[in-house]
Structures are given as structure tokens and as C-alpha cells.
Amino acid sequence: MAKRKRIGVFGWGIVAPKSPDIDAFERNLEQPETWLTPFRGYGQSNFLVGYPDFDFETYHDWFDERFPPAKFAQLNDKMGPMVKYAIGSFIQSLSQNQGIEKYLQTLGTKCHVYVGTGLGELTVASTEAVRYDRAQRRWNEFWGAAERCEPLRRHRAGQADSGAPRNPGELPIGSEAWIDAKHEWEAYWAERSDQLAEYLAEAAAILGEPVPPSSGSAKLSMIRQKLNRIRQLNRKWGCPEEPWAAVSPNLLWNISNIPAAQVSMLGRITGPAFAPIAACASFGIAAKMAVDSINLGEATAVIIGMTDPPPHPLSISAFYNANVVSADADVSRPLTGLKGTHVSGGSCVWIVGDAEALMAQGFRPVGLEIVGVGTSSDAHHIITPSKGGPQLAMKAALDNVKATDVTTWDMHATATPGDATEIENSLEMLHPDVIFTARKGTFGHGMSVGGGWELTAQHLGMAKGKLFPVPLSEGELHADVKVHSAKFVHEAGCSVSDGYSGKLSMGIGGVNSCVISRPWDPEFVAAHLKQAGHTAKAS
């Protein structure tokens, strides 16, 4: 069996509530205050959420130094928030080690990109869905009118269509039933419109003309000519915009693999780039894939990350009706009232790699050493974790680590009744003196990115021998949590001795990930960086 490689983090970037970058994130962790703010999507409501603090303009100069002037504007116009957050975090990750951007490019297919998402780009998808819905209704209303539909005229003249839906004229105008019946009625008759059939035949004749062999510019000209002729056809018939013309291609430019694709394109990285998706366990899953790829020799460095859109009415509504989101206008802290979590958006991107290979180039690790990653599935329930599933992930991650060497453990802890069960199950695998942290009361719960934020907070603190404070006091612990006599980080934070740290994430669908890390030996790092300096001089 090949020797397992030592895995380090050599760059990272953050977009989070109150934290536009990794430096602000670390500064904010020093204080126990929450970063959550009222949700604005419904007007007034009782929801608190984590809105990312982000301005894409911050990165304009970075683009201007590397790409033609139009590149930034193009991305700014076509990319939704989810993709932009990932781009911003990636650019940040290149800044901790000078020269790493060029080095990643030299690795060719030995540099991979695993950047995923949880809910996907709801911001763009919902906007385009509304545009489509409105366009389809206008379209049906136009073509379903009696003057454009011979079957409807026959229906009204006494030749009844037995399959026709209820006539909305039989219902009170403006009522919900009338609105539903109106849309159903118009859709039914538009589908049978003889004039719509004529229109479509003319449109097909225009769009069916083959593009002749020619240069690219001539082909684009031909496409534009066709679109102009379609517009003329619409003016001739006086019809509204076609529903299939109402949706922006931006819907395609923001699908789940695009954050990874943009990192690949902007970083000029030619290794595989795709989106691992595992809900709340996603960051740990990406870390596991990266560690495996590096140990197999398929990659020397991997850019891992997760990104989620800003809080949206669709996601808030879904979480609310799943009974896992807090709705009392107050911060719901894990381990306390167990009232539910808070939805957040943002991103987290790490550059992880074969530590000895990267230190040989003079690159210094910025976080802890990743010593174990475990993954598993509950095979049990879509949202309620099992006992055995998470423990399997923990066991795999702790394979080469004594449980008694674990100093601190970051919980998934969503401020739901599962917090108490998670403590009980974790203590079975660890020991009574381990210090637990639970940070979703600080920055909320990003569907995929939350685990990345929590792991980054753990690395930042443990690298300096401390655990950042959590908005929690001893007297607030829920009785179901307190009964287990576990140790927790509170509002003052605490110092820690050297030791291993663990982070458990449990995702919707029953997928789990666990990451074990430890501080680097300063002498080991110094010796390798010194050797790198000699190698550089010799070359």
C-alpha cells in the first residue's frame, strides 16, 4: 500500500454574513455576537437569516490584470450570486501564498476543482420561473381567445367539447377559483387554436432554414436575421412574446457545476472541475474526494469549496414547512431552545494539497493538517439522522487517531431536538473532556457552505491554540442537552492545548461527513520551507 500523503490547506477564501473575506471572518469570530439579520424577502416577517456581505466590484482589478476589459462586466451580468460568491472566495484563496496561482496552472490535470452547492442558484431560477409563468399566461390568453380559436367558437355555438374545463364565467370574477379556472381555460383553448397552428408553421419555416457553411461571424449574422424575422412575424400577428423566448440563458450559466467551471476557467486550471453535492455534508464530502485523489496520485492539489445563494423566500418557506427553521424574530442558538436554525448564504473555498509537494515549492500551510476524513449514509430517513450513520463517518475519520487525543469537536447542531441526540452519540465515540462547539447561532446554516465555515473557524482558532467564542452561556443549555454533562465553548471562548479537532456534518438525505485535523508541527514546516529555499537557490 502506498504511503498516505500529508494533506494541508494552502489557501482559503470566505464570503459569509458580516464577512466579505477571510480576514473579516476571523476578526468577527473573536466576538460572540450573532451575524444574523431580519429577512427582507416577505416584507415584514419573524425570520432571521445570514445575508452574505459581498460586493463583486471588489474583484474588478483582479480581472482587469488577467482578462480583456469586457470579462468582468460579462460575468457580472450573467452570473448569479452563488457563482459570484465562489469566484470571490477562489480569488481570496490565491492571496495567502504568492505564486500559487501560477503553480496550480503548471500542474495541468493534476490540479482538480471540486466546488459544489446545496440548493443551487434559487435567485436566478426563481426569477426566470416567474418570467416564464407570466409569458405563458399571456400567450395562452392571446391564442386561447375565441377570435383565434375555431374550436372555441364551435364550442360556444353549441358543438360542445366534452373535454373542456369549467368556464371561468361561471365563477365570481377575481376569486381564487376564477383565477385558476381562467388559466386552465385559456391553456386548453390555446392548445387547440387554429391560428396558433398557422403561426407555428410560419415560425418553423423561418427557423428551419439551415445555416450555410461559412465563417463564425456569418453564422451569427444568419441567426440574428432569423430572430429579426420572428419578431416581424410576431408584429404581423400582434401576439405577445413567446414563452420559450422569455427565459434568459442565464438559467443555464448558473447550474450547479458552474461555480467549479468558473474557477477552472478563471484559474486556467485544466484538471477535472465539477460539483459534488451532498446537502449539509457537502464540504466534508469534497474534502474526502480531494484527500482520496491526492493519495491515489491523481492530483497534487485540489480546490474544494461550496457556495449557496442568499436567503430566498423559497428556501425559507421550505425550511419552515419542514419544521427546522426558527420563526420568532430571535436568534436560535444551538443546544438551547431547540427552535430551529437560520438560513444563510455565501461561500467557502480551500486550496488543499500534498503538503510536502507544495511546501517544496515554498508554499506555507494556512490551516491545520487534515489527517482523516470519513463519509457515510444513514440509509434511514431523509431529514432525521440515525445513530449509526454519523458514527460510521466518525469511525472512518478517526481510523488513525486515538479518540482520547481529540481536544475539540464541532457539531452539526441545527438548534433542533437532534442536538441532544448528536451530543449523546458523539460522546460514545469520543471522551467526556472533549470541548464542543456549535456555531450556527453565529452565522446561520448555509445548506452546503455551513460546514466549510465551521471547519474554517476551527482551523483558524486551533492554529493559534484557542477556540473562538460562541453566543452561549451555561444556564441556557436545554435540559435534554445538559443531561449529558458535555463541555461547551461559551461566550468567552477558551484556550486549548495541542490536540486533534473534529468536525461532523449531517446532510439532508442522510449523508454524513467527518473531518479530523491537527496543528502542524512548526519545526516540520520550517524544515520543509527551508529546504524549499535551498532548492530554489540551487535551481
How much is the pLDDT for 533? 78
- Inter-helix orientation angle 122-143/313-321, to 10°: 100
Domains defined for the chain, CATH in brackets? 7-121+254-527 (3.40.47.10), 125-245 (no CATH)
Distances (CA, A) of 332 to 31, 85, 349, 444: 17, 26, 27, 9
The dihedral built from the CA positions of residue 23, 26, 28 and 31, taken in this order, carries a sign that is negative
Distances (CA, A) of 503 to 74, 381, 411, 500, 518: 38, 22, 6, 10, 12
The residue with cell 399571456 is 138
Contact (Cβ atoms closer than 8 angstroms) between residue 13 and residue 91: yes
Residue 191, CB-side half-sphere exposure with 13 Å CA sphere: 9
C-alpha cell at 447: 445548506
Contact (Cβ atoms closer than 8 angstroms) between residue 84 and residue 412: no
DSSP 274: E
The burial of 145, by beta-carbon neighbours within 10 Å (0-12 exposed, 13-18 middle, 19 or more buried), is given as: middle
- Rounded Cα distance between 102 and 66, Å, is 12
How much is the pLDDT for 220? 82
Distances (CA, A) of 111 to 42, 354, 477: 43, 11, 45
Per-residue pLDDT of the chain (539 residues; tens, 9 = 90+): 568 999 999 999 999 999 999 999 999 999 999 999 999 999 999 999 999 999 999 999 999 999 999 999 999 999 999 999 999 999 999 999 999 999 999 999 999 999 999 999 999 999 999 999 999 999 999 999 999 999 999 999 999 999 999 999 999 999 999 999 999 999 999 999 999 999 999 999 999 988 777 666 777 888 899 999 999 999 999 999 999 999 999 999 999 999 999 999 999 999 999 999 999 999 999 999 999 999 999 999 999 999 999 999 999 999 999 999 999 999 999 999 999 999 999 999 999 999 999 999 999 999 999 999 999 999 999 999 999 999 999 999 999 999 999 999 999 999 999 999 999 999 999 999 999 999 999 999 999 999 999 999 999 999 999 999 999 987 899 999 999 999 999 999 999 988 999 999 999 999 999 999 999 999 999 999 988 875 543 33
- Rounded Cα distance between 490 and 473, Å, is 5
Express each pLDDT in 37-74 by its tens digit.
999 999 999 999 999 999 999 999 999 999 999 999 99
The residue with cell 468536525 is 503
